[in-house]
Amino acid sequence: MKKLQQKINYKFNDSSLLKQALTHRSANKKNNERLEFLGDSILGLVISADLYNRFGHVDEGKLSRLRSQLVRGKTLAQIGISLDLSSFVILGSGELKSGGYRRESIQADAVEAIFGAIYIDSDFETVKNVVLGLYEDLLNNINPNDSLKDSKTELQEFLQKRSMSLPKYDLVSTVGKDHKAIFTVNCFLADQKIQVENKATSIKKAEQECAQMLLEKLKV
């Protein structure tokens, strides 16, 4: 844990919070889902505020697309890979055997959970500095003039250009209530006979992750 704390540039007062942030629900222990929920909101606010201050001339729509690119699962997974989170995540035996430690969604969730854990362990200003430190290169290199689309839009446009059937999103299950709820969404591409499934703390987030998985399968 000391090595990971050095990478994120934060030392926990309560190391059990970091352990919880790295614990996947499959481990049947106190897991990171609540911390992920908190970290997701913190990340959104920190990135939104930075973009607002950084690009004073950019309208709300473009700022929203910039934020979407920065907080999506794929970007979070890249940060997780840079932190070598696959070496630290705590998984149940089934998830471990299936190679879950390499799964992007698990690493992305852990990154958000770490942000939540840092906030609980310290304060907003501290976690803001950690987030901005990890996002420094991404924020410095982002261009508001680039054509930015979220994964669902990108997938839809890819299919429409090829006169293919549009994806069908279905809510498979909801586990828990209110802010603790975990939504499982299935997405099916009829023409390719491909379907994927993903879990997230919101339906929208689960749909976006499904779309990203399909884009990768289609090698877009």
Q: How far is 101 from 138, CA to CA, in rounded Å?
A: 24
Q: Which position among 36, 40, 104, 207 bears the catalytic label?
A: 40
Lookup: tokens for 18: 């970091």
Q: Which position among 95, 104, 112, 209 bears the catalytic label?
A: 112
Q: How far is 113 from 40, CA to CA, in rounded Å?
A: 8
Q: Are 116 and 21 in contact (CB under 8 A)?
A: yes
Q: How far is 188 from 190, CA to CA, in rounded Å?
A: 6
Whether 170 is a known active-site residue: answer no
Exposed, middle or buried, 132 (CB in 10 Å: 0-12/13-18/19+)? middle
Task: In the chain, count H helices and then E strands.
Answer: 11, 3
> Strands (DSSP E) along 27-167, which ranges?
none
Give the closest residue to 212 by CA, choosing from 157, 166, 155, 143.
155
Placement of tokens 């399968």 in the chain:
217
Whether 40 is a known active-site residue: answer yes
Q: How far is 199 from 205, CA to CA, in rounded Å?
A: 8
Show which residues are catalytic: 40, 112
